[in-house]
Amino acid sequence: MNPARLRKLKEWLIERAILLSGVFSVVFVVLIFLFLLREGLSLFRGESVLDFLFGKSWYPISEPPRFGILPLILGSLLVTLGAAAISVPIGLAAALFIAEIAPGRLKEGLKAGIELLAAIPSVVIGFIGMITLGPFIKKLFAVPTGLTALTGSVTLAFMAMPTIVSIAEDAITAVPRQYREAAIAMGATKWQTTWRIVARAARPGMVAAVMLGIGRVIGETMAVMMVTGNAAVIPSGMLQPVRTLTATIAAEMGESVQGGSHYAALFAIGIVLFVITFLINGVADLYLHRSRK
């Protein structure tokens, strides 16, 4: 074979290989979703979708079993909203500080610190939350157990923070210098420039950062299972034990019978989670693309 044809063949092979890996990553997602559907949908032969989504009791091993996931959905929602309420303001403020205000050395130090926070395994964060935050909250609010929705929210806020800070910081740093120059040249103060021009220009990226942070929180399992107390009841406040969708799957998958209705119900929860995170990531993506335009 002559060198020119050899080169052509090499190009062809490389192109196909890259195409194939691209296709595979999509195919895997589709396969996972199909598998979820196959295992989960069998539940709805004996159970209505509405009873499943809005049923108030989750007693999977009683006779007859009850598969209402409303307490789990509310548990996830409560913990997630709590985590967002803590991590979004702090995270966005930290991103603004790092991008706009912190001088060189401090900026690098903070960025490294944030990355380190992202690198802590979730089980370690959960463990620390369980042995320090739990007792603290129990004492502070004088409640019977420290493993509550609030404990979960605070713990998860730590896990959402790195995502929010680093993506928002990127978005703020990407705001062109000329906008800042123009505002300063008009006699705007540093704060007016930062808040009214830079933060406005970076808003799509900041929204995406928040959405991805929340996506991370909803999908988080290990830490949340360790600190929320895992009571599958409809919560009436932040100081009660709750159980999330994710923790339910992780805790019960081992004791369910493969092919049984409990097993199918856990997969159906998986479908719900998949749809939720898919929607959140979709919104985040939308905003990220808008910010690039």
Partner 1 sequence: MSAPGVAIETRGLDLFYGDFQALTRVELQVPEREVTALIGPSGCGKSTLLRVFNRMNDLIEGARVGGTVLVGGEDIYAPGADLLRLRERVGMVFQRPNPFPLSVYENIAFGLSVHRLAPRREHDMIVEQALRDVLLWDDLKDRLQRSALALSLEQQQRLCIARVLPLKPRVLLMDEPCSALDPIATLHIEELMRQLKRDYTIVIVTHNMQQAARASDRTGFMYLGKLVEFGETARIFTHPRQELTENYIRGRFG
**Near partner 1 by CB under 8 A, which window of 64-72, 178-186, 232-240, 262-270?**
178-186
What is the rounded CA–CA span in Å between residue 80 and residue 197? 30
- 61 touching partner 1, by CB under 8 A: no
Smaller CB distance to partner 1: residue 56 or 289? 289
- 200 touching partner 1, by CB under 8 A: yes
- 290 touching partner 1, by CB under 8 A: no
- 171 touching partner 1, by CB under 8 A: no
- 189 touching partner 1, by CB under 8 A: yes
Count of beta carbons in the 10 Å neighbourhood of residue 228: 32
What is the rounded CA–CA span in Å between residue 45 and residue 233? 25
**Near partner 1 by CB under 8 A, which window of 29-37, 187-195, 244-252, 274-282?**
187-195
Q: How far is CA 274 from the centre of its chain?
A: 12
Tokens of 254: 């081992």
For residue 60, list its beta bridge partners.
none
| Listed residue (73, 50, 39) closest to 262, CA to CA | 39
- 120 touching partner 1, by CB under 8 A: no
Contact criterion met (CB below 8 Å) for 203 and 135 = no
**Near partner 1 by CB under 8 A, which window of 27-35, 137-145, 171-179, 238-246?**
171-179
Interacting residue ranges for partner 1, rule: CB under 8 A: 176, 178-179, 181-189, 192, 196-197, 200-201
